[in-house]
Structure 1
Amino acid sequence: MTPRFLPAALACGVLFAAAAASAQSAPDGKQISIQGANGAPACITCHGARGEGNPAAGFPQLAGIGAKYLDEQLEAMANGSRVSPIMAATARALDPAQRAAVASYYAGLPSPLDTDRLAATAMALAKPADTGAWLATRGAWDKNVPACNQCHGPGGIGVGANFPSLAGQPAAYIASQLRAWQQGQRPPGPLALMPAVATRLTDAEIDAVSAYYAGLPKAADLLAAQANPATGAK
């Protein structure tokens, strides 16, 4: 190699070394989810190997939830603006880059939800006596409560970066979060919508709409089977 090419070669070497060092130092969201980090336990302990959650224990599904939303929630739990006795220590143990890596990892996992079937449930006519379905699809306009689906999408499939999916989340988890907004234990979110909604719901209404969304995937499968018996059960 002639000397006149040496500076370029050195420059390339420096850039390669810098890129390699950056790659090595970047947190691995999947590894953190499996092994934990900085004394924090592995995420899969509560949220499942595929981010599917644990309905029986009330731990929510994370797979397919937007990275921005997940990162904001981890930050809120770390700084205490979202009160979470279970998650606070874990969120604080992770540094911002690690929280972002974990959020990105779970956002990239395939959601277990059948969004087409779930969206189709929004077309079913709810009866006023079915409080959960009525609140989800129609709202309670007599007390300025919009339909949950207006923000969270038809069938609670989630919309954009700020409105996560609700379908299939544990009823106990949804209810606990609505009550957290009632008590000022979660950041208000976009336009401070959720505290305004939650404070206008009764305990019975919270339980009803939480149970509705928790059971919606099974209800969606049943609706599909009724509409097309030949393929609905697949």
Structure 2
Amino acid sequence: MPWWNGAVKSALWKALLGAACAVGALLPASLMAAPAKIEDTLAARLAACSTCHGAQGRAAPDGYHPRIAGKPAGYVYNQLLNFREGRRAYGPMVSLVAPLPDAYLREIAAHYAALELPYAAPPPAQADAATLPRGRQLALQGDAARQLPACSSCHGPTLTGRLPATPGLLGLPRDYLIGQLGAWRNGQRRAHEPDCMASIARQLSPEDLGAVTAWLASQPVPAGARVAAAPAAGEALPMKCGSAVAP
């Protein structure tokens, strides 16, 4: 008769159960209590986003996961759509938003847009004396000879964004800015047509891309600044841009 018969099985189960009960009796009551209840709120559900985007969406220290707190709701919503619909291709974000309906994406966007949190001071610029003035020129004046509009003509005069869907460019790490402009240049990042940022990124020389990102990343966010107002009635942007509006 095999040793692994019913009687032996029964005895082993009883022994294991007895041992488990004995261990349980030795544990403090705090460990035996029911698990703490987690509130089913949007903020609680989105706490997982802090793993990459930092606490409350303030940005992660790695330089590649951007701040999303305080961005225009239309911008955040557009990006969630871009990940879900294949215009952006970062795997973790695609997996996260793939099953989510439009209404829930709008809730997420509104949540982060409503967060008013302070910005950290920018790091010192790591660029030579000729680079930063060129970056400032591109950001605030553009380059008419190369048909490059100023960043401020779309992203607002203080570069803190325009409603309803254009983000601010200050308070972002240089690595992130370079990465996104590079993604637009090579087609890894796209937006709703007409894709103005793809056109601009492809017009920038590598030197100009380095200059404008160095200058932007070294600028502090103006005190009390959030998002600039929408363009005034009749004010035209320098080029048509599908991502400047929220669907």
Structures share a fold, TM > 0.5? yes
TM class by shorter chain equals 0.5 to 0.7
Q: Supply the RMSD in Å over aligned alpha carbons.
A: 2.7
Q: 1:57 aligns with which of 59, 63, 66?
A: 63
Question: Which amino acid in the other structure matches residue 142 of structure 2?
Answer: G
- CA drift of 1:56 comes to 3.1
Contact 1:155 1:216 in 2 (8 A): no
CA distance, structure 2, for counterparts of residue 46 and residue 93 of structure 1: 20
**Counterpart position of 1:133:** 136
Q: CA offsets per residue over residues 57-100 of structure 1, 9 Å max, x none? A: 32111111111211111111012112223422222243433322
Task: Pick the aligned partner of 1:30 from 39, 43, 49.
Answer: 43
Moved more, 198-207 or 178-187: 178-187
Letter in 2 for 1:201: L
- Structure 1 match to 2:183: 180
Deviation at 1:192, TM superposition (A): 2.8
Do structure 1's residue 203 and structure 2's residue 202 form an aligned pair? no
Partner of 1:45: 51
Question: 1:210 Cα shift?
Answer: 1.6
| 1:102-139: CA deviation from partner (whole Å, max 9, x where unpaired) | 1111011004359xxxxxxxxxxxx8862211110111
Residue 197 of structure 1: how far off its partner (Å): 0.7
For 1:77 and 1:171, locate their aligned partners in 2 and report how far apart those are by CA, in whole Å.
22
Residue of structure 2 aligned with 1:82, choices 64, 84, 88? 88
Residue 68 of structure 1: aligned partner: 74
1:162, CA displacement in angstroms?
2.3
Structure 1: 4+ residue segments shifted above 6 A = none
Distance 1:143 1:194, change over 3 A: same
Instruction: Show the counterpart of 1:171.
Output: 174
Paired residues of 1:162 and 1:190 also in contact (CA < 8 A): no
> Are 1:156 and 2:156 an aligned pair?
no
Larger RCO, structure (CA 8 Å, separation 6 or more): 2
Partner-residue secondary structure (3-state), 1:156: coil
Give the total of aligned pairs. Answer: 177
User: What amino acid is aligned across from residue 70 of structure 1 in structure 2?
Assistant: V
Whether contact under 8 Å (1:32, 1:102) holds in the other structure is no
State how far apart, in whole Å, the 1-side matches of 2:102 and 2:132 are. 46
Distance 1:150 1:60, change over 3 A: same
Q: Report the Cα offset of residue 159 of structure 1.
A: 0.8
Which position in structure 1 is the counterpart of 2:145?
142
For 2:44, the aligned partner's letter is: Q
* Matched-pair contact (CA < 8 Å) for 2:135–2:212: yes
User: Does the Cα contact within 8 Å between 2:132 and 2:212 map onto a contact in 1?
Assistant: no
1:92 aligns with 2:105: no
Bigger Rg over Cα: 2
